[in-house]
Chains A and B, each alone.
Chain A
Amino acid sequence: MSICCREATGYAGNMLSCMELQTKFAKNEQSQRVNDMYYPEWMKKLGRVHREQGASIFVEVPLSRLEKTMERVKRHGIGVVNAISGYDSGRDIEVLYHFIHQGIVLTIKTRVKRGLSAVPSMIRLFPSAMLFEQENHEMLGLKFTGNLNMRPVLLGKASPKTPLRKKEIENEQGK
């Protein structure tokens, strides 16, 4: 378990020393157990694993391989997508698919170019993706090819369009 957040952030004021933290973690059995978390090998082989934390594992795949990756996920017995998140990083838009399976929270991430913003829809494999795709379309302006139901879920007619897109970047790009 990483406890070197102070070094990473350069912030030294309001925290215990690493030694103190280490002692606290060592005392706690729970932290030991989380350390030994077992992630199935197939999850690690889905793409580039870029974070393993507690019960969650984050795997990144390129957009071109997204559908095949999802098919593999489905073949391993995951029947539902528990959530789809979107995040506008400024350079591109990240789409994250969260699955809960056998005690592991698997997140598959892919990146879409801001201008392109089209992702293959997953409703064929996971019917529960419908709502999340609608939500991400509404919040980030993402298009999901294959999902014809892009009716607004949360926002009203007078609400700002695609509120979670970074507007300052769009303004710079003259959009």
Chain B
Amino acid sequence: MSKENDEPVRKTYCLPVGPQHPMYVEAENLAVTLDGETITKVDVNIGYMHRGIEELMQKRNYIQAIYLAERICGICSSVHSTTYCQAVENLLDLDIPERAKLIRMVMLELERIHSHFLFLGLVGYQIGLDTVFMYSWRDREHVMDALELLSGNRVNYAMSTIGGVRRDIPGGKLGEVLKRLNLLEKSVDYHERLFRNDRSIRARTMGLGKLQKGYSLDYSIIGPVARGSGIRTDIRADVPYLLYDDMDWRVIVKDGGDTHARVMVKILEIRQSIKIIRSCLSRLARLQDRALTVRAPTIIAPTEAIAVSEAPRGELIYYARSNGTDMPERLRIRTPSFMNLLYCLPPMLEGEQLADLPVIVSSADPCFSCCDRVTLIDEKSGSARRVDEAWLKKHGEGRAGR
């Protein structure tokens, strides 16, 4: 309060959302400045999960680095290991057998379905519809079962290796995967109807978190977030890798630019992924060549290469450089969330209501929500003080960021 006169001074709150997150294993921090309930400024702080993996990979040989790459992300683990293997294969100018390409595609697309179902559940949860969360995560179990059936694991599949894949998909398992795809297809139909027609969902998603097409183009927004803003960008179509250009599928684009458009893009993409997997499985069943790998040298002459792929959240880039030993000289990884998190959240959130923050943030598919403490900034004096969750709860704002 001003000491000179009795006029109240507008006090803005800086509300840190994160860094601890109750849903994902990732930790991020959003410093949200509020004017009342309206978000005026968003400052995204990342780095809480920085593990120095690039440097760690440079201290291991090419085979060991596959396992590190796989552990960069728990949800999109397969796309990391596959793109890393592609980068090393590009260093060697090595082409892998057709069967290996098809198996990699099956794994990548199953992973995309798993990631998208997970996303749908989280959006439902943030809207406040726990039933949607439970239904979508129940149906996600079908794809998790399929992944476990093929790889023996629900998370880190360890399928890709340099020169191909480590395991075949035997004929007996093809039918089992197809059965699960049928169940998933019904689930997609249900979720599509639900997200298109449900009044509560439409009210909480339509027109919220708008991201303009021009901004997305300037700031290299990628993946489903960009496709929800009317930009036709998908590495599977733009720089086709594996056998994506031989498959019958299409890039899903929505013009809305809002939360609803981003959700619908993901729902419709699941159907395209199912289509791709079916094509891959039928080709695998017909394919005579049983080769899974071509042997790759463990020592690579000094050169450089780049591999790009479409992860569930957008384009993933691996730049690799060899030095004539069995260890990479330099590996640089550009993950999709790095772009989407830091560039698209501020314009999406500014001007929106605090209550809509979790839904909008979820629609961009990064990871955070829970508020652990609040920093109060007095605009007049510029002083800041931090309060903990107990203080928040006491003052009735404990649920603000959840």
Using a CB–CB distance below 8 Å, which chain A residues touch chain B?
1-3, 5-6, 8-11, 13-16, 21, 24-25, 27-28, 30-31, 34, 51, 53-56, 58, 79-83, 85-87, 96, 98, 100, 103-105, 107, 126-128, 131, 152-156, 159, 163-164
Contact = CB atoms under 8 A, between A and B. Distances in A.
B238 A103 contact: yes
B298 interface: yes
Given A82-B317, A83-B317, A83-B334, 8 more contacts: A14-B297, A24-B97, A30-B95, A51-B303, A55-B239, A100-B239, A126-B220, A153-B47
B93 A2 contact: yes
A81 B95 contact: no
The 4 closest A-B pairs by CB, nearest first: A8-B301, A128-B220, A80-B220, A83-B334
Given A24-B97, A81-B220, A82-B315, A9 B239 contact: no
A27 B225 CA distance: 39
B301 A9 contact: yes
Contacts of B299: 9-11
B67 interface: no
Interface stretch (B187-195, B304-312, B379-387, B392-400): B304-312
A5 B301 contact: yes
B71 interface: no
Interface string B281-318: 00000000101001111111101111010000001010
Nearest to A17: B295
B319 A96 contact: yes
A145 B295 CA distance: 46
Nearest to B48: A156
B338 A131 contact: yes
Contact of A107 (B95, B239, B291, B306): B306
A100 B47 contact: no
Given A105-B239, A163-B52, A11 B294 contact: no
A40 B204 CA distance: 46
B343 A131 contact: yes
A109 to B, nearest CB: 9
Contacts of B308: 100, 105
A154 to B, nearest CB: 4
16 contacts: A5-B93, A13-B298, A30-B243, A31-B95, A51-B303, A53-B90, A56-B306, A85-B332, A87-B321, A87-B330, A98-B306, A100-B315, A104-B239, A105-B306, A107-B306, A131-B338
A103 B301 CA distance: 27
Nearest to A104: B239
Given A98-B319, A155-B50, A127 B101 contact: no
Among the interface residues B46, B220, B295, which one has the most CB atoms of the partner chain A within 10 A? Answer: B220
Given A98-B319, A153-B46, A15 B220 contact: no
Contact of A154 (B47, B97, B235, B294): B47
Interface in B42-101: 46-47, 50, 52, 54-55, 90, 92-95, 97-98, 101
Interface string B363-398: 000000000000000000000000000000000000
B218 interface: yes
Contacts of B298: 11, 13-14
B112 to A, nearest CB: 19
A5 B300 contact: yes
Interface of B: 46-47, 50, 52, 54-55, 90, 92-95, 97-98, 101, 217-220, 235, 238-240, 243, 289, 291, 294-301, 303-306, 308, 315, 317, 319, 321, 324, 329-330, 332, 334, 338-339, 342-343
Contacts of A104: 239
Given A82-B334, A83-B332, A5 B92 contact: yes
B379 to A, nearest CB: 21
Contact of A54 (B55, B90, B235, B296): B90
Among the interface residues B289, B291, B305, which one has the most CB atoms of the partner chain A within 10 A? Answer: B305
Contacts of A164: 54-55
Given A5-B92, A30-B101, A82-B220, A152 B342 contact: no
Contacts of B342: 131, 153
A26 B95 CA distance: 10
A156 B300 contact: no
A46 to B, nearest CB: 16
A21 B95 CA distance: 9
Among the interface residues B47, B93, B218, B342, which one has the most CB atoms of the partner chain A within 10 A? Answer: B93
